[in-house]
């Protein structure tokens, strides 16, 4: 029991990653509002960042700054670097998504998916 608690507590940030990921996906799945969908997507992506950063953490390690002292344990810097890139990608995606949402709003007058679907249904020629 104690082991289990320690295992859960010890992998706390991994559990958060899973929860965030599920939350993000749930929002994407369940919300009809396009902006909310993008927000969900963002949460989802954030969970990925968290996942990478947790992965690079070495227990007891410091920040990966070369201090010159021998034998110092520091966290793996590479995932952090990678996630910087991923964050950029995430921002770009959000930007494009929001831009699209704007255009959708302009041409449909709504950003509710079911409203748009209704318009499509009536638009389709017999």
**Closest by Cα among 24, 125, 11, 120 to 59:** 11
d(C-alpha 86, C-alpha 56), whole Å? 15
12-19 long-range contacts (CB < 8 A, ≥24 apart) are: 13/50, 13/53, 13/54, 13/57, 14/51, 14/54, 16/47, 16/50, 17/47, 17/48, 17/50, 17/51, 17/54, 18/47, 19/47
From 3-11, 57-65, 66-74, 92-100, span contacting another protein (CB under 8 A): 92-100
Between 77-108 and 113-123, two packed helices, what is the crossing angle to 10 degrees?
Answer: 50
Residue from 72, 114, 115, 118 in contact with another protein (CB under 8 A) = 114
From 2-10, 27-35, 57-65, 66-74, span contacting another protein (CB under 8 A): 27-35
CB nearer to another protein: pick between 8 and 98: 98
d(C-alpha 78, C-alpha 56), whole Å? 7
Binders in 37-66 for another protein, by CB under 8 A: 37-38, 41, 44-45, 48, 51-52, 55
Tell the smallest beta-carbon distance from residue 117 to another protein (Å).
Answer: 6
CB nearer to another protein: pick between 2 and 48: 48
Contact residues toward another protein (CB under 8 A) are 25, 28-32, 34, 37-38, 41, 44-45, 48, 51-52, 55, 78-79, 82, 85-86, 89, 92-93, 96-97, 100-101, 103-104, 107-108, 113-114, 116-117, 120, 123, 125
């Amino acid at each position: 029991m104690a082991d289990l608690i320690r295992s859960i507590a010890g992998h706390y940030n991994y559990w958060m990653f899973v929860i965030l990921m599920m939350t993000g996906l749930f929002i994407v799945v369940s919300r009809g509002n396009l902006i909310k969908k993008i927000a969900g997507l963002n949460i989802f992506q954030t969970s990925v960042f968290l996942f990478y950063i947790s992965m690079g953490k070495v227990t007891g390690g410091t920040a990966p700054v070369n201090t010159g002292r021998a034998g110092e344990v520091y966290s793996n810097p590479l995932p952090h670097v990678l996630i910087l890139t991923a964050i950029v990608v995430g921002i770009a995606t959000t930007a494009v998504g929001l831009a699209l949402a704007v255009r959708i709003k302009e041409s449909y007058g709504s950003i509710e998916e079911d409203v748009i679907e209704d318009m499509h249904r009536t638009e389709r020629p017999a």
